């Protein structure tokens, strides 16, 4: 299951130093509903290797502002505890594309 990432726990998760996939989404977003199950599957598949989580932009506007999220879904990829994303995907994408980007940071 994907972690619930919030304004409060993001930095702590990032500091763990594991590769991280973060899905910025909202309950009312149609394309987010398409990507959501892929994110959940990747969270289970890569549980030992990476942190895979979701940020509800309506509840965590601090993170959305910090990373300049203007469209959702936006998926950011972090590596080595660095708070500058190494990759980004905006909009609905197939699971294979998400997985390829995640594998690239492992």
**What pLDDT digit, counting tens, does each position of 2-20 carry?**
999 999 999 999 999 999 9
User: How high is the pLDDT of residue 41?
Assistant: 98
User: How high is the pLDDT of residue 30?
Assistant: 97
Burial 54-65 (b: 16+ CB within 10 A, else e): bbbbeebeebbe
Single out the catalytic residue among 29, 52, 98, 105. Answer: 29
User: How high is the pLDDT of residue 33?
Assistant: 96
Cα distances (Å, whole numbers) of residue 6 to 21, 28, 54, 62, 106: 14, 18, 8, 9, 23
User: How high is the pLDDT of residue 90?
Assistant: 97
> Domains in the chain, ordered, with CATH?
3-104 (3.40.30.10)
Single out the catalytic residue among 32, 51, 55, 75. Answer: 32
- Is 29 labeled as catalytic in the residue annotation? yes
What pTM, to 2 d.p., does this model score? 0.96
- Is 32 labeled as catalytic in the residue annotation? yes
């Amino acid at each position: 299951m994907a972690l619930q990432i919030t304004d409060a726990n993001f930095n702590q998760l990032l500091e763990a130093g594991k590769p991280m996939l973060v899905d910025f989404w909202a309950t009312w977003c149609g394309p987010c509903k398409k990507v959501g199950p892929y994110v959940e599957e990747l969270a289970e598949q890569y549980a030992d290797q990476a942190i895979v989580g979701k940020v509800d932009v309506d509840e965590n506007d601090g993170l959305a502002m910090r990373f300049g999220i203007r469209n959702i879904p936006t998926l950011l990829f972090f590596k080595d505890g660095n708070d500058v994303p190494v990759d980004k995907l905006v909009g609905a994408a197939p699971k294979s594309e998400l997985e390829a980007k995640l594998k690239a940071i492992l």
